[in-house]
Amino acid sequence: MTDDRSPGAEGARFGGECPAGFFARRSFLQTTVAAGLAGAASVSLLDGATAHGATVHGAAASHVAPGAEKTVERAKPIPFHGEHQAGIATPPQRDATFVSFDVTASDRKALTDLFRTLTTRARFLTQGGTPPKTPPDSPPSDTGILGPEVVPDDLTITVALGASFFDDRFGLAARKPVQLVTMTPFAHDDLDPALSQGDLLVQVCATNRDTTVYALLDLLAHTSGAMKPRWRIDGTRNPPRPVGVPRDWFGFKDGISNPDVTNVAQMNQEVWAQPRTDEPAWAVGGTYQVLRIVHFRVEKWQQVPVAEQERIFGRRKVSGAPLYAQDPNASDLLDPIYTNDPQGLITPLDSHVRLANPQTPQTAATSAILRRSYDYDRSPDVRGGLDLGHAFCCFQRELNTYITMQTRLEGEALVPYISPRGGGYFFAVPGVRDEQDYYARELLA
């Protein structure tokens, strides 16, 4: 596996300087003040809000001059405040970037300032508004990428903490989520240290690429004195082909089996940390997040006959339906059934879907995760080939659920065609409740 490695540190990391060099150079505390001013200046673009986790596009469009070819699409913002962070149960947007950071705050007060600033910026960016004006002879407060106004564009910003965040720097070791550990390699992993781990993971998702880039530059500009980028992976979700769930670079539908995010009881059971458990009180409403950067050996996969590809995955390639469905128009919502197939004659025992969820009493508690993944393209790799793959992202109430599931998948037939190369385990903090609250407030109090 080491001969087919992804780009090393230089390809995976930002440079030593903040890429938002056009912003005025200022100390972290000064940018915190600026962030407060920008937040105070924010103006909602559209009245009303969707239910948490829903995405609804507004019918109104800005005025376009006669002869213009396109209109400007506007969307109602996804609510920022709530018991849980947006970007988890929220329907996946089209574009995403995941950035892992090393926290460089000097002490607990600077750390609290960092999380207050992250909250202020995320609140403004996700809801939209007008950036503050600066004097003509001063550096601009805004890149201008999105024009004179920041449009919501279904933007969500989700913050999660790695195990290294809870070392002895800030006196938080006793408050670490009970199952949060550093990700170690599974049997067939080829983890690149330059593309793995981190104190803090920021997930930025939106409908359009310019929005995610704008948001990331803004966050970097306002926090450059307290956290430093470690690695980054960008991803996209392809449109359904032709209908239903989007396909990955292998041509199979991805993320078919997921909890019903509108079912509160199911989400409490499978995703959200609950009170009166072993988890610390501050963690209630948060969830464990796994991010795995998985390289696909697409050229090798293309040499495999479709019938064998289907046996490897355990689903039909065209329809996404279980293997017992012969109709190419069968629904991808049909559930695999293994009770009549104990020997794996229909769905092989080492197929991906069967090992992920064998549907046995012994594995029932370790088979339910909320998948929210994206496809990446970092081509070419260091050998000049394609670097296509999956930014596999999932959320679950217990990290051990994922670890147990992935351990079962060490024996899957898909192993020769994938190479996991990075990522980490994190804990997505609870939501920001109101204007006075901020990310991880109860943890830092």
pTM of structure: 0.84
Whether 129 contacts 45, CB under 8 Å:
yes
Compute CA distances 187 → 180, 311, 350, 412, 424, whole Å: 20, 22, 16, 11, 16
Number of domains composing the chain: 1
Quick check: is 64 in a domain?
Answer: no
Whether 6 contacts 192, CB under 8 Å:
yes
Structural domain including 338 reads: 29-45+77-444
Can you give the pLDDT at residue 257? 83
Can you give the pLDDT at residue 141? 85
DSSP class of residue 168 equals T
The whole-number mean pLDDT for each consecutive block of 10 residues of the chain, a chain of 445 residues, reads 38 38 38 38 32 34 37 72 98 97 97 98 96 86 91 97 97 98 97 97 98 97 95 95 90 89 97 97 98 97 98 96 93 91 96 95 93 95 87 98 97 97 98 98 97
Query: Residue 327 burial (CB < 10 Å; 0-12/13-18/19+)?
Result: exposed
Token reading at 357: 């969820």
Contacts of 331 (CB under 8 A, 6+ apart): 244, 319, 321
Q: How far apart are CA 411 and CA 391, in angstroms?
A: 21
Would you call 425 helix, strand, or coil by DSSP? strand
Measured from the Cβ of residue 360, the count of other Cβ atoms closer than 10 Å reads: 9
Whether 153 contacts 393, CB under 8 Å:
no
Query: Residue 308 burial (CB < 10 Å; 0-12/13-18/19+)?
Result: exposed
Whether 329 contacts 320, CB under 8 Å:
no
Q: Taking the alpha carbons of 177, 182, 184, 189 in that order, is the dihedral positive or negative?
A: positive
Can you give the pLDDT at residue 424? 98
Quick check: is 55 in a domain?
Answer: no
Quick check: is 422 in a domain?
Answer: yes
Token reading at 205: 């998702």
Burial pattern 175-188, b for ≥16 Cβ within 10 A else e, equals: bbbebbeebeeeeb
Whether 332 contacts 321, CB under 8 Å:
yes
**Helices assigned H by DSSP within 284-360:** 298-301, 306-313, 352-356
Quick check: is 8 in a domain?
Answer: no
Quick check: is 391 in a domain?
Answer: yes
Measured from the Cβ of residue 282, the count of other Cβ atoms closer than 10 Å reads: 18
Bridge-based pairing of strands 156-162 and 200-206 is antiparallel
Can you give the pLDDT at residue 75? 61
Can you give the pLDDT at residue 40? 36
Of the candidates 299, 293, 298, 330, the one whose C-alpha atom is nearest the C-alpha of residue 315 is 330
Token reading at 375: 């496809």
Which residue do the tokens 């197939």 mark?
A: 341
Quick check: is 155 in a domain?
Answer: yes
Of the candidates 15, 12, 13, the one whose C-alpha atom is nearest the C-alpha of residue 381 is 12
Can you give the pLDDT at residue 203? 98
Query: Residue 39 burial (CB < 10 Å; 0-12/13-18/19+)?
Result: buried
Whether 11 contacts 231, CB under 8 Å:
no
Amino acid at 211: T
DSSP class of residue 9 equals H
End-to-end CA, the chain: 45
Can you give the pLDDT at residue 159? 98
Amino acid at 27: S
Bridge-based pairing of strands 156-162 and 370-371 is unpaired
Quick check: is 363 in a domain?
Answer: yes
Quick check: is 53 in a domain?
Answer: no
